[in-house]
Amino acid sequence: MSKKPVILVTRRLSDEVQQRLSNDYEPIFNSDDHVFSKSELIEKCQNVDGVLPCHSEVFSSDVIAALPARLKVIANHSVGVDHVDLVAAKDKGIIVTNTPDVLSDATAEIAILCMLAAARRGSEGDRMMRAGAWDFWSPAFMVGVQVTGKRFGIIGMGRVGQVTAERARGFGMEVHYHNRRRLDKVEEKGAIFHDSVDGLLGHADVLSLHCPVTPDTSGFMTTEKFDLLPDSAIFVNTARGALVDEEALVAALRSGKLFAAGLDVYRDEPGGNPELAALDNVFMLPHIGSATRDTRIAMGFRAIDNLDAVFAGHEPKDRVA
């Protein structure tokens, strides 16, 4: 009987996923679910055939250079792959995969939650109730923004963006989007395409980010971009914190240019941004866009499907490098 491939699993996954890994591979689990340091990650990768990491593990060029020749695949438990130097991996002959599609519904739900909570001052209301401080009411009390019938702007009309657009249509919102390519008419479903980010921004009463982090998009939401939004717009980010100049976001929220923001991602994770946390008009979640039981099982199984393909000598479905 041939020896099963040894797979490093960097974080605690669902029981179903870990059981399937145990059936088909020799997994090395992270029993206490801690974040590996760079040196620990390199050390633990030395005697394995593959690694199943999350976005919390950074495979920079120097980490990849230190990986052994026997390591064939980095099968990410994530859609985003900005934590992996894809060029370095390709140059070293390491296959890199991700888990698209299966988390689209869950992430779209979080985007809509962030939009509604930001628009209707959910964070303020929740804190008030928990503190026992609700002692007043009038027609002018806790007035927010109604999103029904407003314009919903999307940057990044991939699978998550398209599902989020569908959810926004449920509120009678008019969908506008910018994408690297225009969708066909069937995919657009009446959404209005803008061939530049700047062209989109003036049409977004709510702006929702669903694009990956690349050298072109890192920090692209600057003061100049926020200034192009309509006054009192809502800003939503469930993609990656690195897309945003957070100082510019804080300034836009403080000045009233933005009515509010709903955020699930930050430049520094875990932890977030204390300046954002201090603002009443920010609704914040701790990067839980895909955190449903069904989705996490599906993500794990998708990653294992990619491992199965690699070790069977086939092309993995979700190869990105």
The rounded distance, in Å, linking the Cα atoms of 17 and 19 is 5
Catalytic-role residue among 16, 269, 275, 319: 269
The token pair at 92 is 């070293």
Catalytic-role residue among 240, 246, 296, 302: 240
Catalytic-role residue among 159, 194, 287, 296: 287
| Coil, strand or helix at 258 | strand
| 315 included as an active-site residue | no
| Coil, strand or helix at 65 | helix
| 287 included as an active-site residue | yes
> DSSP letters along 133-176, please?
------TTTT-----TT-EEEEE--SHHHHHHHHHHHTTTPEEE
- Are 206 and 234 in contact by the 8 Å Cβ rule? The answer is yes
H or E element that contains 207: strand 206-209
| 55 included as an active-site residue | no
> What are the strands of the beta sheet with 206-209, ordered from one edge?
192-193, 174-178, 151-155, 206-209, 233-237, 258-263, 282-284
| Coil, strand or helix at 111 | helix
Catalytic annotation, residues: 240, 269, 287
